[in-house]
Structure 1
Amino acid sequence: MVIPTYNEADNLAWIVARLRQAQPGVDVLVVDDNSPDGTGGLADDLAAADPAISVVHRTEKAGLGAAYLHGFDVALRSGYDVIGEMDADGSHQPEQLGRLLEALQDADLVIGSRYVPGGSVVNWPLQRLLLSRGGNLYVRLLLGIRVKDATAGYRLFRRTTLEAIDLGSVRSTGYVFQTDLAYRTLGRGLRIAEVPIDFVERERGDSKMSGQVASESLRRITRWGLSERRAQLRRRWSRA
């Protein structure tokens, strides 16, 4: 399970302990973007005490997608057949990871979804919830996909899925990264399953998501989505 971190010193040990207790067979890869609060050092301490935990230290904060791409590359080169992602702040419940693991038996990518029946969002202000739901509706309309929570970050990929979607060509580094990978998965004819999760707003530390960040993500999705639509039309005309 790849866990990216930036200034998560208050949360990292807590969430990793929960994950190791809930799923003792799951290894953990912390990808730290040179956190000034010492998160990287704390990760090293965890790794020294538990052989199932490893750490990648990056030199700068280059975006969520960039951290995940780095972690995925390390995990693929290490030979893992299932590679996951989750937040370090406690918003994704490790105790619900079993739902994703079970669903992966019949899917190529499993998304822990806030917006399928049984899913929920806890302690979000109404404005943020509406922005998230509206953003996902916009993604479905713009890209023509049926994924209810394309922006979600609690996921499991098969190795073969990450290999098929050509990670080397992914240029999105921010929050649009999640939508990009879901769209690429469907574009390769692969299967996505969504399972309900309870997304709980962090209790400690500062959220990396803001209205400004979310708005910028939607603008990037618009530019990227329109570009993809134009490419689809060109391909159709070339086959006509």
Structure 2
Amino acid sequence: MPRETRLVLIPSYNTGARVLQTVREARAAWTPVWVVVDGSTDGTDALLLEEAARDPGLEVVVLPRNGGKGGAVLHGLREATRRGFTHALTMDADGQHPADRIGAMMEASRTAPEAMILGRPVFGPEAPRIRVQGRRISNWLAQVQTAGGGIGDCLFGFRVYPVAPLVAVMERHRWMRRFDFDPEAVVRLCWRGLPVVNLPVPCRYLSKEEGGVSHFHYARDNLLLTWMHTRLVLGMLPRLPALLWRRRASPPPLAATRRR
């Protein structure tokens, strides 16, 4: 059989012991799984390296300092490019994303290899209302910035990217290195003409007792996202005629036809 050219890529920063469960669940669903430890100081780098020593399907890269989620993903994508991988499924290390849906996401990517396969979160009752409502603003803005590009959720990081165009976009821009990575990546790839496939997947918000960890700081990171949306709106304006023409000339988005 040919070597699988799709991998699971997990950025991790001070996630605590919960990261081991996430990695084991991902490994039960897929090979290979890579973890990029983004300058963690909580000892999880040692735990993950021990796990990788016992599991040939797991690789762990430890970065010396924290550079943000997008920076960790880019590090992994550059290595994936060097080693011939064509697609990467990104997922968070904190247990929010369902590893048992990895196979379905990868199969959708095989069916539409040119597309982004975006998870559309289905929240449980434990999800903080302020987070659920707040993301509606970002999703509305992403639709504006892409002239109706079909993005189901711009913030949910459980998705499959074609590696080459994402690396090209990230290396052209200095941003997209922290919490602005997920929404800016999908908008800029839409600008490049990549189709979108949305698949609904459950999303869990774990309590602290369950090992849940969040590094989102409302003031700092909302300011970061505000600046991101500002530059994307400004970047959209000169592209608007081409985006509108593309919408008229192309068939309906894959996102509208691939519901499960």
Task: Settle same-fold status: TM greater than 0.5.
Answer: yes
Alpha-carbon shift at residue 80 of structure 1 (Å):
1.3
Q: CA-to-partner distance for each residue in 1:189-219, whole Å, 9 max, x for gaps?
A: 2211110000101331421124325522431
What is residue 112 of structure 2 aligned with on the other side?
106
Question: Are 1:10 and 1:205, in contact at CA under 8 Å, matched by a contact in 2?
Answer: no
Residue 137 (structure 2) pairs with residue 123 (structure 1): no
Tell me how far 1:102 sits from its aligned partner. Answer: 2.0
**2:16 matched to 1:4?**
no
The code of the aligned residue for 1:141 comes to V
Distance 1:2 1:181 in 2: 15
The Cα of 1:47 is off from its aligned counterpart by: 1.0
Whether the aligned pair in 2 keeps the contact of 1:122 and 1:200 (CA below 8 Å) is: no
| SS at structure 2 position matched to 1:111 | strand
Unaligned runs of 5+ in 2: 1-7, 244-260
1:206 to 200, 209, 213: 213
What percent identity do the matched residue pairs reach?
A: 27
Aligned residue in 2 for 1:61: 66
The range that moved more, 105-114 or 202-211, is: 202-211
Change (3 A) 1:125 1:81: same
Shift of 1:121: 4.4
2:27–2:58 Cα contact (<8 Å) kept:
no
The one-letter code of the counterpart of 1:188 is R
Map 1:81-230 to 2 at 5 A. Answer: 81-104=86-109, 105-107=111-113, 108-114=115-121, 119-144=122-147, 145-162=149-166, 165-171=168-174, 172-202=176-206, 203-230=210-237
Calculate the aligned-residue CA RMSD, in Å. 2.2
SS in 1 for 2:36: strand
TM-score normalized by the length of structure 2: 0.80
Instruction: Report how many residues are paired.
Output: 229
Using the TM superposition, give the Cα deviation of residue 17 of structure 1 relative to its aligned residue in structure 2, in angstroms: 1.0
**Structure 1: runs of 5+ lacking an equivalent:** none
Question: Shift of residue 233 of structure 1?
Answer: 6.3
Higher mean Cα deviation, 83-92 or 180-189? 180-189
The 1:233–1:131 alpha-carbon spacing in structure 2 relative to 1, beyond 3 Å, is closer
When residues 206 and 122 of structure 1 are mapped into structure 2, their CA distance, relative to the original with a 3 A threshold, is same
Structure 1 stretch displaced more, 47-56 or 224-233: 224-233
| Contact 1:124/1:201 (8 A) holds in 2 | yes
Amino acid paired to 2:120: S
Structure 1 stretches of at least 4 aligned residues deviating more than 6 Å after TM superposition: 233-236
